[in-house]
Structure 1
């Protein structure tokens, strides 16, 4: 195992735009995954990531049923698996803090898009691999 700081890993995650966000779905808790952009919005302090979506899909139902989620990232020789909890945020002021102009290609009405939600993924454990190096970080909540 190789040591990397949480800040080191957060910087890597920031450079990988698309994650596969994984949730438990349905009453039987099967696994569902979908691509989501982190918009380069990754906290160097605790590795929290932020993803915009709308509440008319399955992801909001999944996270209301179980906040347990994960995200996987891949960029070059860097691979990462994040396990943690997902929180749905509907607060406009918080949306404004995390909004980037590039999101308008997905959300035509910008911050006024009906049903807009922000998904905050707070990691509990991060496993990473880069070339022959690998490591794990446990994040204290």
Structure 2
């Protein structure tokens, strides 16, 4: 019998928050030590342990960066749902054809016109090490209840769930 720990439940919540957010900003470290961010499409591919996969061109500048400095950060946001996630981890280039076939989606053809036959196609795997998320009810009813409670009690109402996960 497996007993779920607080960390297990936090990682499960993290995965649940990210799985509906298709795009994120990936931050890498450039050759001069500065931070660089760019939008990436995860295609909603996140594993149960928090690892995230991206299709990429193996010769792209971001791959040069992660080969020099493996540390990266992924920032996911869904403002309409009041969901925000920061995921830190290490990146590695993966050229596993079977994994690419498993993760391929037709929409990726916009970036990879030759699909899996692109000569330079590869995967970038982000192995999650730390994360933090913020999740708040986005509906007007939940917000209104919070405001009314704050106004009547004089206490600041914070409906946001915030959790740091230091080990994934």
Same fold (TM over 0.5): yes
99-108 or 31-40, larger mean C-alpha shift: 99-108
Determine if contact 2:133/2:163 at 8 Å carries over to the other structure. Answer: yes
Structure number having the greater strand percentage: 1
Determine if contact 2:131/2:164 at 8 Å carries over to the other structure. Answer: yes
Please state whether the residue corresponding to 1:103 is helix, strand or coil: helix
Please state how far the C-alpha of 1:106 moved relative to its aligned partner.
Answer: 1.5
Identify unmatched segments of 5+ residues in structure 2.
Answer: 1-6, 137-159
Distance 1:58 1:5 in 2: 33
Does residue 38 (structure 1) correspond to residue 42 (structure 2)? The answer is yes
| Alignment TM-score, normalising by the size of structure 1 | 0.90
- Structure 1 runs (4+) greater than 6 angstroms displaced: none
Please state how far the C-alpha of 1:139 moved relative to its aligned partner.
Answer: 2.8
Q: Whose radius of gyration is greater, 1 or 2?
A: 2
Identify unmatched segments of 5+ residues in structure 1.
Answer: none
Structure number having the greater helix percentage: 2
Determine if contact 1:50/1:118 at 8 Å carries over to the other structure. Answer: yes
Distance 1:11 1:37 in 2: 17
Does residue 13 (structure 1) correspond to residue 18 (structure 2)? The answer is yes
Q: How big is the alpha-carbon RMSD for the aligned residues of Structure 1 and Structure 2?
A: 1.4
